[in-house]
Amino acid sequence: MDSQYPDSPHQNESFLGCVLERNGPDGLINSLSFLFGAFALTINGRLISASDNFASLVEYDVAELRDMNVLDLAVPECRSELQHRLSRDITRRYELQLLTKTGAVKQVVVSPQLFHAKGRKYRLAEFIDQSGFYALQRNQLDNFRNTACALTQAIEQRDPYTNGHMSRTASIAVKLAEALGLKGSAIESIALGASMHDIGKISVPIEILTKPGKLASHEWAFIKRHPEIGHRILSSIDFEKTVKDIVLLHHERHDGSGYPYGLGGREIPIEVSIVAIADCLEAIAGVRPYRKARSFHGAIAIMEQEVSRYDRQVLGVARSLVDGEELNGHEYSPES
């Protein structure tokens, strides 16, 4: 028995075209009222009809929306990407930030559908409001950050020489990530992972952490366990994989000389390489029980003597930031 409704993309396009030709733009939108979501119909990027749900979503009256350019309903930073999608007739589902009449931002998922009627091309888009979901994610991230801060403070209070090391490493890592062009969630993961990268050192005896001389082999074995212990601490917490990878792998080196697994080259995620270089730069520059602080210029020069250990691109960016005084270590007291 034939279905009353279309069951293929081609049939769906034909169905939409027939309804539009028979009932007009508002009739098409009203025919979708039984579906969950907010719908808008456009031609050449111009709104010609919208559902009450869509008008409510963006806080306009339906009459106000007619003839508006859809680009004006997107937040400014999203307009270039939206224009690209419209000009290329991209119909994949995507995320978008809408700007309401009152200036609020709504995070939505857009499902577009192209079809033709009377020789013209139309775009019907369904909008699902995900603002509540993203607000929950932000709250979770804030809770994660608070947890990270508490754990970090607990660890760093044990060792006055490294007090503040993880937060300073996070600050350096974020500057490196931004200079490398990373954005959004990638930077958030780097900041969170870097702020907890040494959490496993809570298991290391304080006399080893603060020992002024060279560590014995059994003492060094304690130190080398801290990435895996830190990873186990975080394993029961709903942190994303990148954060846990940073904690587990931040002592891996590009030439395979690191620990705990001896990974090398492309086996090491770029986020981990960024934190690894930030960690080394901060550690070499900072005060330790057995030496005074160094300048960042001195620290980066030491790292460049063993360039094979590091991601060359990230190390090059670190050198540029140091030379440009964007990384300067003014919180230290460098040796003269």
Half-sphere exposure for 128 (CA within 13 Å, toward CB): 12
Domains of the chain, start order: 9-129 (3.30.450.20), 133-323 (1.10.3210.10)
The yes-or-no answer on residue 201 being catalytic is yes
CA distances from 161 to 157, 210, 218, 253, 291 (A): 9, 8, 22, 24, 11
- For 16-47, b/e burial (b = at least 16 CB within 10 A) is bbebbeeeebeebbbbbeeeebbbbbbeeeeb
Q: Provide the residue type at 137 as one letter.
A: Q
Instruction: Report pTM.
Output: 0.62
In the set 106, 118, 175, 201, the catalytic residue is 201
**Tens-digit pLDDT string for the chain (336 aa):** 344 445 555 667 788 888 888 888 998 998 887 776 799 999 989 999 999 999 999 999 999 999 999 999 999 999 999 999 999 999 999 999 999 999 999 999 999 999 999 889 999 999 999 888 777 767 776 776 677 677 777 776 766 656 688 889 999 999 999 999 998 889 999 999 998 899 898 888 888 887 877 889 999 998 999 999 999 988 877 778 999 999 999 999 999 999 999 999 999 999 999 999 999 999 888 755 555 667 889 899 999 999 999 999 999 999 999 999 998 765 554 443
